């Protein structure tokens, strides 16, 4: 990939990657409020396959699963610009190669 294409990718997409990172961080944090409240309430129950359960392992698994969004957002938002630019270029190369493979089928 030429330098001009890499520069164009960096300038156009950098702000959208950051916007997506903030989106995941903010909305994921909002979604995390309820599982954290349930985690610290000993009488709270969670339905797992229609069965109400109070086990701590179920509550921790829920918090861990819902935490993926904010962690991904924080990773994108707080990654230095140089590393994020490299990630964007690598993603562009990967996605263009994937499209080329799909067109060959």
pLDDT in tens, 59-70: 999 999 999 999
What pLDDT was estimated at residue 102? 75
Predicted confidence (pLDDT) at residue 8 exceeds the cutoff of 80: no
Q: Between the CA of residue 102 and those of 74, 80, 94, 95, what are the distances in Å?
A: 32, 33, 12, 10
pLDDT band at residue 9, thresholds of 50, 70 and 90? low
Q: Which domain holds residue 78?
A: 3-104
Record the pTM: 0.69
Q: Is 59 left (phi over 0), alpha (psi -120 to 50) or beta?
A: alpha
Domain count, the chain: 1
What pLDDT was estimated at residue 37? 93
Crossing angle of the two packed helices 56-66 and 68-78, in degrees rounded to 10: 30
The burial of 84, by beta-carbon neighbours within 10 Å (0-12 exposed, 13-18 middle, 19 or more buried), is given as: buried
Residue 63, token pair as written in the block: 């918090």
R_g (Cα) of the chain, nearest Å: 20
Q: Which of 3-17, 33-47, 60-74, 77-91 has the lowest mean pLDDT?
A: 3-17
């Amino acid at each position: 990939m030429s330098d001009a294409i890499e520069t164009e990718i960096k300038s156009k997409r950098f702000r959208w990657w950051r916007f997506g990172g903030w989106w995941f961080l903010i909305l994921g944090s909002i979604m995390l409020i309820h599982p954290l409240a349930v985690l610290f309430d000993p009488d709270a129950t969670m339905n797992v396959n229609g069965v109400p359960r109070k086990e701590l392992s179920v509550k921790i698994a829920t918090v861990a699963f819902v935490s993926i969004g904010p962690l991904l957002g924080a990773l994108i938002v707080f990654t230095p610009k140089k590393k994020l630019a490299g990630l964007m270029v690598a993603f562009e190369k990967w996605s263009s190669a994937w499209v080329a493979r799909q067109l060959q089928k």
